[in-house]
Structure 1
Amino acid sequence: MEEIERKFLVISEAYKDVASSKTRIVQGFLSTDAERTVRIRLKGEQGFITVKGKSNSEGTSRFEWEKEIPANEAEALLKLCLPGVIDKFRYEIPIEDVVFEVDEFFGDNEGLTVAEVELAHASQEFPKPDWLGAEVTGNVKYYNSRLSSHPYKKW
């Protein structure tokens, strides 16, 4: 249940040409406590509840637990979430043995596009496509839980 990932800014829309899927995601947070976040997500027609622990000092890994829930329950729980619902499209881009997830944000976070890649271990090598920009792994202002309360448009 440990999530190991790296996060990057995206500097062009070239990822759209190689994406294998595009899904709308709407998510909110029941808790954005620094020690734990509780997220409710609608991903397409699927609902999820996710609990994430505090990141390690590098920001590369943390505890993550996720369960699928009925979409109507996710919709009801979204109404209980803290202000600042996140709305985005997620593109999945498989390259070699990893899959990049590129999030294109809307609403108060419009203009921000971020790529994440999950890894099997912290030192795993992975390709870096041309559309990948500066690494922001561990920078809390790019966490979705922070974007919900401190949106990109207000930076």
Structure 2
Amino acid sequence: MIEIERKFLVKSEVFKNKAYNSFNIKQGFLNSHKERTVRIRLKKDKGYITVKGKSTENGLSRFEWEKEISNIEAENLLILCEEGIIDKRRYEVKFGNHTFEVDEFFGDNEGLVIAEVELNTENETFKKPEWLGKEVTGDIKYYNSQLSKQPYKTWK
């Protein structure tokens, strides 16, 4: 239940042609405290509730628990969420031995594109595709829970 991932900005749209899957995601937060978040997500025809703990100091690891719920349950829980619903399209791109999840944001976060790769250990090496930009692992402003409060359009 420990999630280890690295996060990067994306510098081109090349990933779209390499994606083997893509779908829209709508998500909100019942709780977006820095010590823990409780997320509600609609993805395809399924709902999910996810609890995430505080990240380690380097931002690579944190506790994550997720449970599938019905689409109707997720829609009802989204109504209770804090202000700032996240709307994005996720692209799944295989590169080397890993799958990169690339999120293209819409609404108040339009223009922001972030790629994440999940790892088995914090020291695991992986090939980086040419479209990856600056690493932002551990930079809290790129967490979805923060983007819901301080959207990309408000950054200077």
TM-score range, shorter chain: over 0.9
Letter in 2 for 1:87: D
The structural deviation recorded for 1:97 is: 1.4
Please, which runs of 5 or more residues in structure 2 have no aligned partner? Answer: none
Cα deviation, 1:4-39, whole Å, max 9, x if unaligned, reads 000000000000011010110000000001110000
The structural deviation recorded for 1:61 is: 0.3
| TM value normalised by structure 2 | 0.99
Please, which runs of 5 or more residues in structure 1 have no aligned partner? Answer: none
Question: What residue is the counterpart of 2:119 in the other structure?
Answer: 119
Cα deviation, 1:90-122, whole Å, max 9, x if unaligned, reads 000011211000000000000000000000000
- Over the matched positions of the two proteins, sequence identity in percent amounts to 63
| TM value normalised by structure 1 | 0.99
- Counterpart Cα distance in 2 of 1:43 and 1:126: 27
- Counterpart Cα distance in 1 of 2:127 and 2:20: 17
CA RMSD of aligned residues (A): 0.4
Where does 1:3-152 land on structure 2 (aligned, <5 Å)? 3-152=3-152
Letter in 1 for 2:101: E
- Counterpart Cα distance in 1 of 2:57 and 2:85: 27
Off by >3 Å, runs of 4+ in structure 1: none
- Counterpart Cα distance in 1 of 2:66 and 2:38: 10
Number of residues paired by the alignment?
155
